Structure 1
Amino acid sequence: MNSFNAENFHQLCDAVAERDADLKTVIDTHGYPPLWTRPNRFATLVLTILEQQVSLQSAYAAFKRLEEKIGLPTPVKLLALTDEELRACSFTRQKMAYVRGLAEALQKRTIVLKDMEALPDDEVRRRLTALKGIGDWTVDIYLLHSLGRTDLFPTGDLALMNGIKMVKGWDTISKERALEWAAPLRPWRSIATMIVWHHYIRKRNIRIVH
């Protein structure tokens, strides 16, 4: 599997920029995007689940409340919490079920996160989406941020879609149009995604807290 890391990230950014002049302009204007990575652990997936369909700031605030209560989230510590305790950390009923289902799968070892590092993207997706509440967007973010896979293109991510519109100067965008634009950027669409996010964050003056 192709992966990116601190050693090759800027080189890959340059390679992607050679294929798309607008992405090159982003790098020329804002510099390289940060190397957004997260550890391959339960706590990371809990944060990613919290990020589903809410702002990053809201998700991180909930995650910090959870951390303040139990320290670094682990399956054992999370499963010991009551509904009331999770609700006090701003978990919805749905997200309580999602993180508990993930915690139980890790405890039973039906899911082993370390094993994911050696599996192809499609198999990682198959295993994780078998769990309630983990869909393609969550897997895309996990594959990109935690496993450093180079060819993720999360079309379900609103910041990415709006960022492409901004970078390309388009009035409208669809999943099909985005995929058509990104096709020549294979196998480095993760890198293109991060460049677009970088532009979107800088233009919208968004503060990334985690």
Structure 2
Amino acid sequence: MFPVFSADNFHQLCNLLAEKDGDLAFVLERYGYPPFWSRPNNFESLVHIILEQQVSLASALAALNKLKSKIGEITATKFLGLSNDELRACYFSRQKTVYVRDLAEKLVSGHLDLSSLERFSDGEIRTQLKQIKGIGDWTVDIYLIFILHHTDVFPTGDLAAVNALKSLKKLPKGTTKEELLTTILHWEPYRTIGLMILWHYYLEERKPIKRRNNT
């Protein structure tokens, strides 16, 4: 069994990292704990992550909800029964249709078993999932974080995380991925927890400032 975190120890791990890193402590003091972001280990969750590739979270969720209203429970078998036109009406691009079809076919044929991935290491999971069309390192990272809750993942391909880290630690815009990873070496083996605090910081900082009513 590989190191995972849960709702039960999430706040404890946030506190542990805050003791190691004053910038993370600042985020927790200012904005509180991040949400415990989690999704079940099923076809729908992986479809959701694929839909989130290179688009806004709102656009991805709209497509997922449209698909759900079309077929009810989102399963690989039901998905394979839809035509290109039906999927286009559910806001699926041509590329995303190809990607999700390949995922569905591998699940139905037994070439991929999501439940078995829970016993594998990050590297083994990455190797298996990257055999699916359209699944790269970012998608695997998000799967490891949101679904399997592995503790030590930091997706250098995630712009929100990278920009939040540069902002929080006042790093130059040109800081390389290798330099970023060096900056957070002391987060190991809980870089996923630090990432969630970063995402929380990113989202809170983007919220409009509430004007005080002084009248």
- The TM-score bracket by the shorter chain reads over 0.9
Query: Which string of whole-angstrom CA distances, capped at 9 and with x for unpartnered residues, describes residues 141-186 of structure 1?
Result: 0011000100010000011011112211223132122111121111
Displacement of 1:19 after TM fit?
1.3
Q: In structure 1, what is the equivalent of residue 153 of structure 2?
A: 152
Q: In structure 1, what is the equivalent of residue 207 of structure 2?
A: 205
Displacement of 1:205 after TM fit?
2.1
Gaps of 5+ in 2: 209-215
Displacement of 1:193 after TM fit?
0.4
- Which consecutive aligned stretches of 4+ in structure 1 deviate over 3 angstroms post-superposition? none
Question: Quick one: distance in 2 between partners of 1:163 and 1:71?
Answer: 37
1:114-129 equivalent positions in 2, closer than 5 A: 114-129=115-130
Q: In structure 2, what is the equivalent of residue 103 of structure 1?
A: 104
Q: In the alignment, is residue 179 of structure 1 matched against residue 181 of structure 2?
A: yes
Q: In structure 1, what is the equivalent of residue 194 of structure 2?
A: 192
Q: In structure 2, what is the equivalent of residue 94 of structure 1?
A: 95
Q: In structure 2, what is the equivalent of residue 70 of structure 1?
A: 71
User: Given the two structures, how large is their TM-score scaled by the length of structure 1?
Assistant: 0.96
Displacement of 1:73 after TM fit?
1.0
Displacement of 1:17 after TM fit?
1.0
Question: Quick one: distance in 2 between partners of 1:175 and 1:18?
Answer: 24
Displacement of 1:131 after TM fit?
1.0
RMSD: 1.0
Paired letter, 1:174 = T
Q: In structure 1, what is the equivalent of residue 211 of structure 2?
A: none
User: Given the two structures, how large is their TM-score scaled by the length of structure 2?
Assistant: 0.94
Query: Which string of whole-angstrom CA distances, capped at 9 and with x for unpartnered residues, describes residues 8-40 of structure 1?
Result: 101111111111100110001000100001000
Displacement of 1:109 after TM fit?
1.0
Question: Quick one: distance in 1 between partners of 2:69 and 2:130?
Answer: 29
Question: Quick one: distance in 1 between partners of 2:75 and 2:207?
Answer: 33
Q: In structure 2, what is the equivalent of residue 164 of structure 1?
A: 165
Question: Quick one: distance in 2 between partners of 1:205 and 1:113?
Answer: 36
Question: Quick one: distance in 1 between partners of 2:176 and 2:60?
Answer: 26
Question: Percent sequence identity over matched residues?
Answer: 50
Partner SS state of residue 184, structure 2: helix
1:128-139 equivalent positions in 2, closer than 5 A: 128-139=129-140
Q: In structure 2, what is the equivalent of residue 19 of structure 1?
A: 20
Partner SS state of residue 117, structure 1: helix
Paired letter, 1:72 = E
Gaps of 5+ in 1: none
Max radius of gyration: which structure? 2
Query: Which string of whole-angstrom CA distances, capped at 9 and with x for unpartnered residues, describes residues 58-86 of structure 1?
Result: 11111111111011210011000000011
